[in-house]
Amino acid sequence: MKFNNRKVLIVPLDWGLGHATRCIPLVKAFLKLNWQVVIAADGDIEYLLRKEFPQLQFLKLSGYEVEYSQNSKWMPLKMLAQIPKILSAIRKENDWLNRIIEQHNIDLVISDNRYGLYTEKVPCVFITHQLNIKASFKWMEKRLQRMNWNYISKFSECWVPDAEANGLAGDLSHPKELHPFPLRFLGPLSRFKRMMAPIKYKYLFLISGPEPQRTLLEKKIFDSIADLKDEVVIIRGKPGSSEQFSFASNINVVNHLDGHELERVMNSAEYIISRSGYTTVMEVAALQKRSILIPTPGQTEQEYLANYLYRKGYAYTAVQEGLSIKDVLQKAEQFYFREFPMQMNNLDDELEDFLQKYFQPKPEVSFATS
């Protein structure tokens, strides 16, 4: 099917790098279908995606710039206090979208968790794995759920990067209530593939997520790795940083790796220690690695995912408060790991089905000879 000169705008949320990295398979799929891809981002998100796709057009769009608390107990109040700022950002990005569609002749909008990127001018898709919102209090959970579904209903479709049955995200991606919007399960999205590579690193620490919690976890790791005798690699999740660190020869620290290099290094690790952000979970699952998850304190979605995957036997989990890396690694050695369930959909087929629903393919030009 040919869609030459059709143009799609893809915009990931700015809460950590995961929303950007799970958009990478989508960008590649649209390019394969002969679509022009435009990406809107800022900061580290823009840097990461420019490294992956230097040939693409980029537009500037500020993020929601949500601030996280250093103390997890204050996280619910911190998030509540920022709701007016988030709602203001949603209104601004909606105004921005309507201008951009006209200026750049956009045919389709793909929004990864950015609630204001809807319009009646072109089809708009909302990507999320959180159809059920987890919160610290039930009353807050219900209110957030209503707001979530109200915004998603403004989009043409909602795409869920999980399997329709036996998914990785548990209750987060499988609502029991009847949802008032078209829903499409894409299957897990991962930019990585499993390779039969020799194990080089016993432990790979993949640090990511919003500040200040990213740095707090990094400090705990740096303070406790000196006793490790095995080969270790620490990826700081700091694209664009030139900081250098000095540790023993078996401890390797890098600020950031591009997708191809990160895929190679992750395939060569026995254990991957990371946050329980859903994109990281999908990528580790695709590689079928032994996973140790440390959820961001106060981030209820990550806390739910870590506990859910632990109960299923797919990952070992630990909490950041009072974290002892040595104890966690010892306990993980005794944990019985089950293989992740990976029911992968054919992304190309899913996209073609969607495009047939909303677009007519452009006919190929043929030149008759007399």
How confident is the model over 173-231, as pLDDT tens digits? 988 877 788 999 999 999 999 998 899 999 999 998 778 888 999 999 999 888 899 99
Sheet holding 157-160, edge to edge: 57-60, 36-41, 7-12, 108-112, 124-127, 157-160, 183-185
Q: Identify the pLDDT of residue 80.
A: 67
Question: For residue range 218-251, what is the model confidence (pLDDT) as tens digits?
Answer: 999 999 888 899 999 999 988 878 899 889 999 9
pLDDT at residue 74 is higher than 60: no
Q: Is the pLDDT of residue 68 over 90?
A: no
Confidence tier at 88 by pLDDT (50, 70, 90):
confident
Quick one: pLDDT band at residue 367, thresholds 50, 70, 90? very low
Q: How confident is the model at residue 253 (pLDDT cuts 50, 70, 90)?
A: very high
Of 111-115, 242-246, 272-276, 300-304, the poorest mean pLDDT is in 242-246
CA distance 173 to 128: 8
d(CA 90, CA 66): 13
| Ranges assigned E (strand) in 17-120 | 36-41, 57-60, 108-112
Residue 235: φ, ψ to 5°: -110, 115
* Calpha distance 117→290 (Å, rounded): 37
Q: Which residue has the higher pLDDT, 106 or 367?
A: 106
DSSP assignment of 9-23 equals: EEEE-SSSSHHHHTT
- pLDDT above 90 (res 28): yes
Place of tokens 């629903």: 357
Residues 281-303: what's their mean pLDDT? 93
Looking at 149-206, which runs of residues are DSSP E strands?
A: 157-160, 183-185, 201-206
CA distance 320 to 322: 6
pLDDT at 370: 38
Alpha-carbon distances of 38 from 60, 106, 164, 211, 266, rounded to whole Å: 11, 9, 29, 28, 29
Cα(297)–Cα(303) distance, integer angstroms: 8
Residue 341: per-residue pLDDT: 84
Per-residue model confidence as pLDDT tens digits over 321-366:
889 999 999 999 999 999 998 776 788 889 999 999 998 765 555 4
Q: Which of the four pLDDT bands, split at 50, 70 and 90, describes residue 147?
A: confident
Taking alpha carbons only, the member of 320, 308, 252 closest to residue 132 is: 308
Task: Please tell me the predicted confidence (pLDDT) of residue 361.
Answer: 63
Instruction: Report the distance separating Cα 139 and Cα 84, nearest Å.
Output: 18
Predicted confidence at residue 165, as pLDDT, reads: 84
The two tokens of residue 282 are: 């999908």
Q: In angstroms, rounded to a whole number, what is the distance separating the alpha carbons of residues 368 and 370?
A: 7
Residue 82: band (very low, low, confident or very high) from pLDDT cuts 50, 70, 90: low
Contact between 187 and 345 under an 8 Å Cβ cutoff? The reply is: yes
In the chain, where the domains are located = 7-187+344-358, 201-334
130, 94 in Cβ contact below 8 A? no
Residue 146's pLDDT band (boundaries 50, 70, 90)? confident
Q: How much is the pLDDT for 69?
A: 60
Q: What does the pLDDT read at residue 322?
A: 87
CB–CB of 125/158 below 8 Å?
yes
- To the nearest 10 degrees (0 to 180), the angle between helices 24-32 and 347-358 is 60
What does the pLDDT read at residue 72? 60
Q: List 109's β-bridge partners, or say none.
A: 9, 124
% of the chain with per-residue pLDDT over 70: 90
Q: What is the mean pLDDT of the chain?
A: 88
CATH number of 201-334: 3.40.50.2000
Question: 7-187+344-358 and 201-334: same fold?
Answer: yes
If you ran DSSP here, which 8-state letter would residue 180 be given?
A: S
CATH number of the 7-187+344-358 domain: 3.40.50.2000
**71 exposure class (CB count in 10 Å sphere: 0-12, 13-18, 19+):** exposed
**The overall pTM is greater than 0.85:** yes
Helix (H) or strand (E) segment spanning residue 311: helix 300-312
* Average pLDDT of the segment spanning 50-59: 95
pLDDT attached to residue 198 = 93
CA dist., res. 205 & res. 266, Å (int): 10
The amino acid at 234: I
Tally of CA atoms within 13 A in the half-sphere of 58 that contains its CB:
18
Token couple for 168: 């990785």
